[in-house]
Amino acid sequence: MPNYTLSINGKTQTVTADADTPLLWILRDELNLVGTKFGCGIAQCGACTVHIDGIATRSCQTQISYLEDVKITTIEGLSENGTHPVQEAWKEIDVPQCGYCQAGQIMTAAAFLAENKNPTEEEIREAMHGNICRCASYNRIEKAVKVASEKMS
């Protein structure tokens, strides 16, 4: 199996894996970064969302062989101590129920707000449409994205 050198949360990591291994499983099984979740394996639910060069990306459909020259950020690296404005908003609004999808929701929201600092309600709903919350905490996700945008502006 080949070696790959990855930049994850500002650290350089070398892993040995088959070229087709999805980033999701490298993070979870090899690097113990289990905040990125497995939900569907086909990029439909968003639980595995990470940032690749700042862009929200489904790690379950991203093969490791394509990732050598990019910067990867996971929920564990979004901030030092959970102090990213999106994380703070999630806490303020008390968003989670089971909590399983929330890392993916937060990563999607953080990438979206980095591009659009002052979104409308419609833009927020469109940006978050790709992430499933099976507990249906959608009202609070929407509210928390709004609160985060206010914190960031």
Partner 1 sequence: MESQTNIDISRRNFLKTSLLASGGMLIGFNFMAAYKPKAAMPTSIENLNFNNFNAYIKISDEGFVTIFSPNPEIGQGVKTSMPMIVAEELDVDWNKVTVVQAGLDTKNFKGQIAGGSQSIRSNWNVLRQTGATAKQLLINAAAQKWNVDASTCKASKGIISNAKGETLDYVDVVKLATTLPIPEKVTLKEIKDFHIIGKEIVNVDIDKIITGKPLFGLDFKTEGMLYAAVVRPPAFGQTLVSFDASEAKSISGVLDVFTIGEKARNFLSKGYVSWTAILSESDKIVVVATSTWAALKAKKTIKAQWKQATELESSAFHDKKLMSLLEGDTLKVVREDGNINDAFQQADTIIERTYHSPFLPHNCLEPMNFYANVTADKIELVGPTQTPEEVSKAVAVLLGRKVEEISVEMTRMGGGFGRRLYSDFALEAAEIGAKIQKPVKMVSAREDDMTTGVYKPSVKYQIKAAIKDGKISGYQLKEAAFNGNMYGAIAHFFPAGCIPNYKVATASVDSKITTGAWRAPYTNFLAFAEQSFFDELAAAIKIDPIQLRLDLLQKVKNTTDKKIQYSGERMENTIKLVREKSNWGKVSNGIYQGFAAYYSHNTHVAEVADIELKDGFPIIKKVTVAVDCGVVINLSGAKNQVEGGVIDGIGHAMFGDMSFENGKPTAKNFDVYRLIRMQETPKVEVHFLQNDLSPTGLGEPGLPPAGGAVANAIHAALGKRIYQQPFVKELKKSSVLG
Q: How far apart are CA 97 and CA 145, in angstroms?
A: 17
Cβ-based nearer residue to partner 1, 71 or 125? 125
Residues engaged in binding partner 1 (CB under 8 A) = 1, 18, 20-22, 25, 28-30, 32-42, 44-45, 47, 74-76, 78-79, 81-82, 87, 90-91, 94, 96-103, 106, 125-126, 128-142
Cβ-based nearer residue to partner 1, 7 or 97? 97
CB of 55 to partner 1, least distance (A): 19
CB of 32 to partner 1, least distance (A): 7
Q: How far apart are CA 104 and CA 102, in angstroms?
A: 5
Cβ-based nearer residue to partner 1, 36 or 57? 36
Q: How, if at all, do strands 3-8 and 71-73 pair?
A: parallel
CB of 132 to partner 1, least distance (A): 5
Q: How far apart are CA 37 and CA 105, in angstroms?
A: 11
CB of 54 to partner 1, least distance (A): 18
Rounded alpha-carbon distances, angstroms, from residue 149 to 83, 110, 123: 14, 9, 12
User: Sign of dihedral through CA atoms 70, 102, 42, 31?
Assistant: positive
